Amino acid sequence: MAITILKGDITGQRVDAIVNAANSSLMGGGGVDGAIHRAGGPAILDECRALRASKYGRGLPTGQAVATTAGRLDARWVIHTVGPVYSADEDRSALLASCYRESLRVAGELGAASVAFPAVSAGVYGWSAESAAQIAVDTVRASGTEVDDIRFVLFNDEVYAAFEREM
Ligand code: ADP
């Protein structure tokens, strides 16, 4: 398994699966979620609506992951995962680790050989770059995944630097 870090926009990655830092509604949002839906087009949202109407009537729970196809993106699949909102009162690290583990489990089931991750929860959800990077890198390293090309695609310099230190 190779883990690499890159700076830039995840929507341009040529990988089998792009992970989306979604919210539990699966109906899109800002940040990387908005970018993925804009670049991938309405097909992704249609599939998200179908998931809400079937398996996830109350939304996708935090720490879980589910795949859709990827619309116009180069990737074959988008794997939506819901990171925890940062809390100073409660340690939610296990939920953030679960996002990476569950996304890789779904990727393995799909037969994806390459997966690109954003820094889940490191934006609007309020995690420090340092802590988000540590959990991401540790969890992926320990995952035992069959995915052999894993990329962290980091959008801003601070988050990129934190992942670089962690690696
Ligand atoms: P969350 O709600 O999980 O915090 P955000 O989308 O707000 O999700 O932020 C997660 C990370 O994704 C942040 O570090 C943000 O800078 C980054 N990000 C935003 N747009 C993109 C993009 N197009 N490609 C990769 N990362 C992105």
pLDDT digits (tens, 9 = 90+) for 4-20: 999 999 999 999 999 99
**Residue 28: its pLDDT value, please?**
95
Overall average pLDDT of the 29-42 stretch? 97
Q: How confident is the model at residue 74 (pLDDT cuts 50, 70, 90)?
A: very high
Q: Which ligand 1 atom is nearest residue 9's CA?
A: 24
Is 151's C-beta closer than 6 angstroms to any atom of ligand 1? Answer: no
Mean of pLDDT over the chain: 98
Q: Does this complex have an ipTM over 0.95?
A: yes
Euclidean distance between CA atoms 64 and 61, whole angstroms = 6
Q: Which ligand 1 atom is nearest residue 30's CA?
A: 6
Overall average pLDDT of the 67-87 stretch? 98
pLDDT digits (tens, 9 = 90+) for 142-151: 999 999 999 9
Is 98's C-beta closer than 6 angstroms to any atom of ligand 1? Answer: no
